[in-house]
A and B are shown apart, each in its own frame.
Chain A
Amino acid sequence: MMNVGAENPSTTYQVDLGETFEGPLDLLLHLVKKNEVDIYDIPIALVTEQYMEYIKLMRVMNIDVAGNFLVMAATLAQIKSRMLLPVDEDREEEEDPRMEIVRPLEEYLQIRYAAEDLASRNRLDLDVFARTPSEEDTDAGEQQDSEFIRVSLFELIDAFKEIVKRASAEHAFNITVDTISVKARISELVDILETRQSMRFSEFFEGRAAKGDIIVTFLAILEMAKSQLIRIMQHVESGVIRIFMD
């Protein structure tokens, strides 16, 4: 959804795209499917027109139209004009101008199918689970290859959501505990980190039952990251989020 010309409410457009197209082939395939046509017999004038409309729409919405979308637009326009030319009877072997897009589409479609097939397989850690290395092993492994990457805010929030979910599942009732300020929690955490150097993200919440307590701890971690007291990193292989004292 996009607001165009906010100062003039009568020209406020609301366009719901629902799906964004990653590339020109993606969009083209969508149009083929939508019109229920055969990729070997694409009504080129119709599809070109719809393709251009879509690009116009993206412009209206201020979406940066990538160059490859425009290249495809030019190709479509060229094919369309070549289709209008009279067919030279003497040169029978001249191929259908549409082949220029049929081949890439064919190949892309194959990839789409293959990707869907992969997606339908039983994924490890999603559908099927195997034994994971014991914690000591994980720690050793982490230290060994030290393949850590910085965690994005979203991943951190995801991890936090998981912790909140677990906490509320385990403790259906709320206990009022002495509230603690974020500041006080920070100094507590610094004390712990000074002796331990690094800790797993989930360890910070172990034994904390009250939601308020969990939230204060999370805020403390965010605050500490902001003031660069700590680094929040994720191990590449295991996905374990770990907090390092800087």
Chain B
Amino acid sequence: MNNLKSIVESLLFASDTPLTVDKIKGILETEDRKSIRNILTELAEEYDAQNRGFFLSEVAGGYQLRTRPECREWTRKLRSTRPARLSRAALETLAIIAYKQPVLRSDIEHLRGVDCGGTLHTLLERGIIRVLGRKDLPGRPVVYGTSKRFLELFDLRDLNSLPTLKDIEDLGQEWLSDSNEDSNDSTSS
């Protein structure tokens, strides 16, 4: 049993994509999903308890070792390239697609009140969103959805683990009533 644990740990360490239970099952040539899940839970708990520099993240339908966010100041220095920032326009567009998918460009633009062509193009190019198909409407418009990459980037297990819009709204009310928020006020004089 102990041995199995090291094997699973070695797979997690060596993999550069999130590992699904099915994949581990296939490698181990076993049908015992339950013990794999138990091992994964045990490992995750051990890393937390020992305060390791990494944790076991359940992401994009699989499991992946990731460095702790508390160490970001140092881990960032390891990389020579900085990931491109996501603008507010990109985040808003992404939020609409994540919550309303499958969604048309016209729906996104209606919600944001601005043209989103450029933003959609960038998100598509970066593989964060994808084209799910075409809608049976005049002009056969393209339907957008989020990709697996989206889940990986935002540390999400699946789309269902996004908080509901209702929950976010309740939290967000504070933002609206908070008059000291960001730079808005400094510009209002």
Residues of chain A touching chain B, judged by Cβ–Cβ distance below 8 Å, are: 16-19, 22-26, 30, 32-34, 36, 66, 68, 72, 104, 107-119, 121-134, 137, 149, 155, 158-159, 162-163, 166, 202, 236-237, 239-241
Contact = CB atoms under 8 A, between A and B. Distances in A.
A34 B92 CA distance: 21
A159 B82 CA distance: 8
Nearest to B155: A122
Interface string B83-98: 1101011011011101
A19 B182 CA distance: 10
A92 to B, nearest CB: 30
Contacts of B82: 158, 162
A110 B169 CA distance: 6
A122 B58 CA distance: 13
Contacts of B163: 117
Nearest to A16: B187
Interface stretch (B30-38, B44-52, B172-180): B172-180
Nearest to B92: A115
B137 interface: no
| Chain A CB within 10 A, most for which of B115, B126, B154 | B154
B83 to A, nearest CB: 4
A21 B88 CA distance: 11
Contacts of B140: none
A58 B127 CA distance: 35
A94 B154 CA distance: 45
A158 B83 CA distance: 10
Interface in B65-115: 65-69, 72, 75-76, 78-84, 86, 88-89, 91-92, 94-96, 98-99, 111-115
Contacts of B66: 124, 128-130
Given A123-B153, A166-B80, A239-B81, A131 B65 contact: yes
Contacts of A137: 16
Contact of B127 (A22, A133, A237): A237
Given A19-B183, A33-B181, A116 B125 contact: no
B113 A24 contact: yes
26 contacts: A17-B187, A19-B183, A19-B184, A23-B113, A33-B179, A33-B181, A33-B184, A68-B113, A107-B111, A112-B92, A113-B165, A114-B99, A115-B94, A116-B175, A121-B156, A125-B153, A127-B69, A128-B66, A128-B68, A128-B69, A131-B13, A134-B16, A158-B82, A163-B80, A202-B81, A236-B127
